[in-house]
Copies of this chain bind each other. A is one copy, B any other.
Amino acid sequence: MQLLKDRIRKDGKIKEGNVLKVDSFLNHQMDVKLFKEIGKEFKKRFADCEINKIVTIEASGIGIACVVAECFDVPVVFAKKNKTKNIAGDVYTSRVESFTHGRIYDIIVAKEFLGKDDKVLLIDDFLANGKALEGLAELIEKAGAELVGAGIVIEKGFQRGGDEIRKKGIRLESLAIIESMDEKTKTIIFRDDD
């Protein structure tokens, strides 16, 4: 998605350790106009699919998921990272290792909001080692729902997550796949760069 790649090149900041900061428009400050264009693009890419629910994970996936969901005219369910006392009753859980936070946590979805009638599109802002997406896919499977595919805004193509997800036969659409970044020259090379 050229608009997104242009925006990443313009406003993304490359930090040491292959960290890409896009918090001026994607995951801290959020440009909802861009999100709407992202939604339209996902809608185009999954035009051949029946989708009746979007699932994401807190926190930074929620905003994108909601705007994307408007384009699909479906509700969103977000997996929670901690069990609070407001989630009573039965839940599906799976375990995720976070690259960003350097810790392991459980993700949780209430059983009443995910079931065998759901045809799910997973949406998230980033895909790096793929652990969050794998955890979400596991929740879908446990719920007996159908995983239609996954839509990712930015995939770090130099990490293993994307390839592993594809190897599992999950349809993955990443709108910008970063092949490499150079902190010193401030350059980003995207896969299939135009």
Contacts and interface: CB of A to CB of B under 8 A. Distances in A.
Number of copies: 2
A32 interface: yes
A128 to B, nearest CB: 11
A112 B110 CA distance: 37
B28 A66 contact: no
Contact of A76 (B29, B58, B86): B29
Nearest to A110: B28
A168 interface: no
Interface residue range, chain A: 35 or more
Contacts of A36: 70
A77 B29 contact: yes
A171 B35 CA distance: 29
A88 interface: yes
Contact of A29 (B15, B75, B102): B75
A102 B70 CA distance: 34
A126 B173 CA distance: 34
Interface in A72-126: 73-78, 80, 82, 84-88, 100-102, 109-110, 112-113
Interface stretch (A19-27, A42-50, A151-159, A180-188): A19-27
Contacts of A77: 28-30
Given A30-B76, A63-B65, A76-B63, A84 B101 contact: yes
The 10 closest A-B pairs by CB, nearest first: A58-B59, A63-B66, A59-B59, A62-B62, A29-B113, A30-B76, A32-B69, A29-B77, A62-B63, A32-B70
